Structure 1
Amino acid sequence: MSTTVPTPAAVRSPSAPAVAATAYVLSWVAGLLLAPAAPGHDAPPAEIAGFYAEHGSAVVSSALLVHGTAGLALAGLAVGIARVTAVHGGLRRAVVGIGLGAAVLSLLQFALAVAAVVGQHAATTSRTLLLAIDSVDVLKIALLAAFAAVATTAAARAGAAPRWLRLTAAVLVPLLLVGSAALGGVDALTPVLEVSLVLLLAWAAAVGHLVSRSARSHTPSSTA
Structure 2
Amino acid sequence: MQLKKFEDLVEEANGIIASQVPLAVPRVSGILKFYELQAKFGGLSEHHGIYWILRAQLGTLDKLKVLLPEDRLPSSVEILAGCRNIFENLVWLKLFLIDQSWGLFFYGQFLQAHRQDLEGSIQKFKVEAELFEAFSAEDAAIFNDLVLEFPLIKESTSEDQIYFTKELSRRKRELDIRARRTFALFAEAATINGYSFQAHLLRTKHIPRLKEQLELIVRRIDRFKQEVGTKV
TM-score range, shorter chain: 0.3 to 0.5
Of structures 1 and 2, the larger Rg is shown by 2
TM-score of the aligned structures, taking structure 2 as reference length? 0.33
